[in-house]
Structure 1
């Protein structure tokens, strides 16, 4: 629900006496009024309502209408069930299956290699082109951080992407078009969503089936999953958290920690099992068999 509609509901919400919240002064708002407004809602709805009300409270405090934040100790319900896994990460079998279907010389193949090479979001991937190629590196400002950090990324073009670009027919793009990925008419995609929809078609053509994930949700292989696959590959190659951030454009280590944790878990588990295999008791048991 949009924030303005939530505020409309908050103003119309009634106290036990029948008086609307919108008829009261800010100074009369108490924590119980907020919890009553949240009561009976789903976890997601509570989160959205609490977020909107907090904006209102902060405004009231800035105007001197409130001295303290009545929402400070209030937390929205946590979602039931397993934590969402988000977009599904591609693994090597799916990547190879896609490559087998979409050979070098196709836009579909360029799209895959581009997403894997620079771990870009689809909004950036559908805009990146020859104008961003500077001495063998792709250099651009991610759209998501244009208004915040304005961070510039510069990432080397790996051989797999270069091979895909070199294999494209010279007339694959319309005159004057610089973007690497284009629609069926050789033109840039009208939007990131249009590119995402076309990439979904390429995934379907490659025979990639929906998968029931551990969190109970069924997901398809999509463009954003390749961003996660690229970061996973970097982590398994030994890249540090700072190095991952320099490719992904993330602003904090917390945002890439899941990839590092995955590597640490696998390595620690391998080390543990090797110790077990080399333990005297284990060797003796094997010899006696």
Structure 2
């Protein structure tokens, strides 16, 4: 709407909820952050109306108002809410004071088919029980002694070079898929930051953005391949990646769309050329792998990726060094074999 001074104003409106002003320009970081907060606030209000005092639902609603939760990045809040809201739907009417260790163990056993999800829930249940103790609703923690489900995983699948080549061969330059892929591969950022990127983040050939998850600012010189993709875009879009309807994409919507782009990579007979499990985050790992294989130090990789600790990136440099050492070892062995064959035996 236009105010009395002739300036445009934007508001968040939803039936049954108060109107909320949205600052800044549409799709700008400030605008989108306030929009996300408005959406999260609405969910909390909806939850309040369904709670009973002393219940799991009431505890979750209280945790949403805690300093620990409100201090989280918006992307982390969404992930936590997704888990807790499913738990509240199943157990929200139960009394916090009646929760016992055997109940937690039963919940974990029921989720044995998805150990990663079960362990994430257990971690949040520990947090909720600590909050309950702080509130005086409990004296003990029923999650104490409950073990995580054993499950070995390397996390998100890292894109290998043959995967990268196959995707780019199918989704040519000028397509949305090619643009999104280039942004992920040549910046090494998370999906939540990639969907926010726009021309306002670029200055003098450097893309700078504050990561939503960590608050870390990263400044990344734009790779020539990425620059070519960005130069071909319309100048009036505030975000580089737009939906088919011409709107910025949410992180979740972007991941769902990107998965379809991966599945679309097929040969002439319609057979898929890429394995299951390749995701936007897997390209972040591929960027780190590429940097390590190019000889970059852990600190140099961190300057691009925004990782907070050396431990998070050391695995890439260790793997790259191991490969280089192995290559040198095989080359030395081949050289020694060649020398042995050329040396004539003494008479």
Q: TM-score, normalised by structure 2?
A: 0.60
Is 1:165 aligned with 2:230? yes
Identify if the C-alpha distance between structure 1 residues 59 and 120 changes in structure 2 by more than 3 Å, giving closer, same or farther: closer
Determine if contact 1:6/1:52 at 8 Å carries over to the other structure. no
Displacement, 1:52? 4.6
* Structure 2 residue 299 is the aligned partner of structure 1 residue 223: no
Bigger RCO of structures 1 and 2 (CA < 8 A, at least 6 apart)? 1
1:90 aligns with 2:166: no
Identify if the C-alpha distance between structure 1 residues 77 and 105 changes in structure 2 by more than 3 Å, giving closer, same or farther. Answer: closer
1:275 and 2:344 aligned = no
- Deviation above 6 Å: which 4+ runs of structure 1? 5-10, 63-73
- Cα distance in structure 2, aligned partners of 1:227 and 1:165: 19
Rate the CA distance shift 1:50–1:117 in 2: closer, same or farther, 3 A. Answer: closer
Mapping of 1:175-186 within 5 angstroms?
176-185=236-245
State the partner residue of 2:119.
Answer: 47
Aligned position for 2:197 = 128
Matches within 5 A, 1:1-289: 2=84, 22=98, 34=101, 37-38=104-105, 41=109, 42=112, 47-48=119-120, 50-52=122-124, 54-55=126-127, 58-59=130-131, 75-79=147-151, 83-145=152-214, 150-168=215-233, 172=234, 176-185=236-245, 187-207=246-266, 209-211=273-275, 219-279=276-336, 283-284=339-340
Q: Name the SS of the counterpart of 1:138 in structure 2.
A: strand
- TM-score between both structures, scaled by the size of structure 1: 0.70
* Structure 1 alignment gaps of length 5 or more: 13-20, 24-32, 212-218
Q: Distance in 1 between matches of 2:141 and 2:156?
A: 36
Residues 246-283 of structure 1: per-residue CA shift (max 9 Å, x gap): 2112111122222112102201212322333344x774
Q: How many residues align?
A: 250
Instruction: Give the CA deviation at 1:50.
Output: 4.6
RMSD in angstroms over aligned alpha carbons? 3.5
Match of 2:220, SS?
Answer: strand
Q: Which runs of 5+ in 2 are unaligned?
A: 1-82, 267-271
Report if the CA contact (8 A) 1:136-1:156 is conserved: yes
